[in-house]
Amino acid sequence: MFSFFRRKPKEEAPVVAAPEVAPAPASSVPPAPSAPVSVPSVPANTAPSAPVAVTAPSAPAVAEETEITPAPAPAPEQKKSWLSRLKAGLAKTSSSLTTLFVGARIDDDLYDELEAALLTADAGVEATLFLLDALKKKVKEEKLTEAEQVKAALKTLLTDLLTPLQKPLVLGKHQPMVMMIAGVNGAGKTTTIGKLAKHMQMHNQSVVLAAGDTFRAAAREQLAIWGERNGVTVIAQESGDPAAVAFDAVASAKARQTNVVMIDTAGRLPTQLHLMEELKKIRRVLGKAMDTAPHEVLLVIDGNTGQNALAQVKAFDDALQLTGLVITKLDGTAKGGVLAAIAKTRPVPVYFIGVGEQIEDLQPFNAQEFVDALLN
Ligand SMILES: Nc1nc2c(ncn2[C@@H]2O[C@H](COP(=O)(O)OP(=O)(O)O)[C@@H](O)[C@H]2O)c(=O)[nH]1
Ligand SMILES: [Mg+2]
């Protein structure tokens, strides 16, 4: 019921190491072997030939071997505390949305108040108008007469809007699986990478990190210490070109048959260079290190960013073709409506949401749970 990742069964031929097309980095690792890289060390399964359908994480497992549950699986009380933190984080929006239905008549005033509440919750104009229109239609069609019924109808509409964003991250599809993690400074990239690395290790995935945010020595050191403590190789370069660091990390993963490469990136540059150009370069170089890479390009967003979050999704998606989002800090003063804005305007899947700094605070996004926390 609470699966963290979905693992793709192995059906393709072993991935062949791409020819070395070095962007002239000072390589800190041995070059990738020219022989085909052997099949990943993840347990082989009785590979069905079709890719596993990517379904909602809450759906029952189709086959044991394709579904991975986090180890340790969140105990019921842990899950409860996670949900209560999400609820607490969204409490302000929740109470403003909920109270307007209490004892209300279904009239223009109610719709006006709802419009204001949705806009205040960062849902944005497009999603707000969409929800209001759909709600009015539903109220008419279903001849709803009680405010409670209207609230329930809104819940259904919101869940329907957000459900397409729900998508598990699939492991084991590529060897190595190369993930690039982007986002503005302070969004939670490095923290998220740390949490993901631990979750992946629990699924027997070996991980290498590329310290692509190379500009701050302190950040580099912090990552190195973290890596040492957690048995994760961290590839870094002093004064290095982040694209070269990323390239080295993929080469290292190929040589050592590491399952997952995560590339941390900068959120701001100390130079005149344009951040997006820098990130695009990293993306291009990853493609040189491995034909199919990057396999995932994640944007980490601080849930408190408000409407600017949508602007970030658009800008990073235009530059990098995002495959997924991670929304952090929903335990703070986040209003939550921005997910509706994203769903309506730029529906990039939301792989995970974070409600705190502990490893178990990062969990897969589930539309139903989220709406339950927002509108109870
Ligand atoms: N409350 C809360 N804090 C978080 C969460 N995720 C990250 N942080 C904190 O946000 C700050 C910035 O995170 P960091 O990973 O360094 O951001 P980066 O600049 O994008 O790498 C750190 O103090 C983190 O502990 C979250 O889900 N909830
Ligand atoms: Mg960082």
DSSP state of 166: B
Residue 9 has a pLDDT of: 55
Ligand nearest to the CA of 88: 1
**Contact 183 CB / ligand 1 (< 6 Å):** yes
- Distance CA(168)–CA(149), nearest Å, equals 32
Q: Strand, helix or coil at 38?
A: coil
Ligand nearest to the CA of 183: 1
Q: Strand, helix or coil at 328?
A: strand
Ligand 2 centroid distance, CA of 171 (Å): 24
Which of 181, 191, 195 has most ligand 1 atoms within 8 Å of CB, for mutation?
Answer: 191
163 strand-pairing partners: none
- Distance CA(375)–CA(294), nearest Å, equals 37
- Distance CA(333)–CA(89), nearest Å, equals 6
Segments of the chain assigned E as strands:
5-7, 67-68, 169-171, 177-182, 207-211, 233-235, 260-264, 296-302, 324-328, 350-354, 362-364
**Contact 331 CB / ligand 1 (< 6 Å):** yes
Ligand 1 centroid distance, CA of 300 (Å): 10
β-pairing verdict for 260-264 and 233-235: unpaired
- Secondary element (H or E) of residue 324: strand 324-328
The length of the chain in residues reads 376
**Mean pLDDT of the region 194-202:** 92
Tokens of 172: 């084991």
Mean pLDDT, the chain, as a whole number? 82
Do the beta carbons of residue 365 and residue 199 sit within 8 Å? no
Q: For residue 362, name the pLDDT band (cuts at 50, 70, 90).
A: very high
User: What pLDDT, in 10s, does the model give residues 322-357?
Assistant: 999 999 999 988 899 999 999 999 999 999 999 998
Q: For residue 52, name the pLDDT band (cuts at 50, 70, 90).
A: very low
Decide if pLDDT at 201 tops 80: yes
Q: Strand, helix or coil at 271?
A: coil
Q: Work out the burial of residue 88: count CB atoms within 10 Å of its CB; fewer than 13 is exposed, 13-18 middle, 19 or more buried.
A: middle
Ligand 1 centroid distance, CA of 195 (Å): 11
Decide if pLDDT at 252 tops 70: yes
Decide if pLDDT at 70 tops 80: no
**Which CA distances in Å does 300 have to 67, 328, 352, 353?**
25, 7, 9, 10
Decide if pLDDT at 20 tops 90: no
Which of 268, 302, 357 has most ligand 1 atoms within 8 Å of CB, for mutation?
Answer: 357
- Distance CA(139)–CA(304), nearest Å, equals 32
Ligand 1 centroid distance, CA of 4 (Å): 20
User: 76-80 long-range contacts, Cβ below 8 Å, gap at least 24?
Assistant: 78/360, 79/2
Question: Of residues 214 and 79, which shows the higher confidence score?
Answer: 79
- Distance CA(274)–CA(141), nearest Å, equals 51
- Distance CA(17)–CA(176), nearest Å, equals 10
Ligand 2 centroid distance, CA of 225 (Å): 14
Neighbouring residues of 94: CB distance < 8 A, sequence distance ≥ 6: 87, 373, 374, 375, 376
Q: What percent of the chain has pLDDT over 70?
A: 78
Closest CA to 139 of 107, 161, 114: 107
Q: For residue 1, name the pLDDT band (cuts at 50, 70, 90).
A: very low
